[in-house]
Structure 1
Amino acid sequence: MNLPHRYRLIIGYDGTDFHGWQHNEGFRTVQGELTQAAGVIVGGPVEVEGSSRTDAGVHALGHLVRIRLATEVDVYQFQHSLQGVSPRDIEVIDCVEAVSDWHPRFHAIGKRYLYRIWNSPRRPLFGERTCWWVRPELDCEKMQKASEGLIGRHDFAAYRSRSKQERDDTVRTLHQISVLRHGSSVSIQVVGDGFLYRMVRNLVGVLVEVGRGLRDVDDPTRILASTDRQQAGFAAPAPGLFLMEVACRGEPLPQCLEQPMTL
């Protein structure tokens, strides 16, 4: 299929009602909805590829996407038409022409994820679709200290998914981890060169157990060294996770923001 015209998009989405990013026959996915919407606009074949295969229930505010078309389009008109045709839980933030060999996943050099926690006995009235409600008080300073041993290039096999076998190696580089509190809102930001399936959620699950006093401060580093997934316990729920930013070759690495994202 000849699709010579390539466009680079930044999209956001509320992942609550999606069965993840990747096309899955019989299920509602972000990739599937974008492909259908773009096809309606151009009236021809479309190929949609993303920078990350986010899981069911995971959100995004900065997912890089490449769309390949058979015909050339005006980027401004295409962006606004795509926004108009796409469902309300997808936002088309930006659209520009892409160089012919650019790929959002293979050319990515860094990603920033955000995990949102509502830390209060009181229910998060307007935010439970986009956070994890943790009732016991978290010690964020202890969580920050516990994350320090995870920074750098390591084998993160202990923080991979239990059920999914990765086809590539499990060595990744974490550049930054930030744990911030603003009232009852706790934000955990993670910046790395790439992430294994459910790696961020597994990391957050361990850090929250540290914050609750259920694990020692050195447990995350000990678990890392073990390369044993059974040591890491449960994954944090999907609704709190956001893909915030993706950087490609020639662009600066994402940085953890100094202010938490509040509810």
Structure 2
Amino acid sequence: MTNNTVQQMLIDFNKEFTKIVLPDDAVTVVRPQAGLLKSLRENDVPIIKVCPPQANADMFFDVLKDVAGIVVKHKPDLEGDINKILSALPAAAEARELFVMQAFTPGTNLLESFNEELSPESLGFILNHVVKPFMKQYARKVSTFFAPEQWLKGACPVCGGKPTLALLEKEEGKRYLYCGMCEARWRFQRLGCPYCSSNESRFFSVEGMEQYRVYYCDNCHGYIKTLNEAMMFDSSNLDLFWEDINTVHLDLLALQEGYVNQPVEITAAQPTS
């Protein structure tokens, strides 16, 4: 499968995926006490650790079915895996509630919730896409719980995930990191690797796409795509989700050179792109 084919498949998949819209009450949040929020900031703890999203279980399983249909349509080779996952999902209300709660608990191994062997890759793929719209709503609801200009960490202040993209804003050239799971954005130091904090990193770019750079680190072998807003013709409708999807060929180039983009670990199985 060529790089262009992979990219077009992802674009087509995500065009359908982004049509999934949740009602405002899909996720509820209980605001922590002010002292606890202060402690989170001082100890570099993401909000999800102490204030997890409470997702509506019925909506979660509705979205799961929708995502499963989209996955099978665009990746028919996964139909057997997806059908096996769907048939193994809990049926009882209490078990479904527990399953959803665990899906939003970092470090939980959801594979252990099933009584049969399932593909970790397929389970991770589908669950991460199911979780994502809920996490996006969650990030919006907790946006006042942290100061994005002051976080300055390599991990997401909301879900603790690693960034998938960086943005150099055009006014002052500040660098912001973007979480591919919950779509939170926060400020980071202008230079250096967000994964291992090394101050040494290099970059490459592709001719004709000079607004993008891929910074890579020889210390941890991580990489991060970076968009220079000042080099964009029009950034008024900038959408970092689509910037991430539309530059997947840069991911493939970095992967071919032995570098890896740090995954967001939210669900049980290892997430895949």
TM-score by length of 2: 0.28
Normalized per residue, which structure has more helix? 2
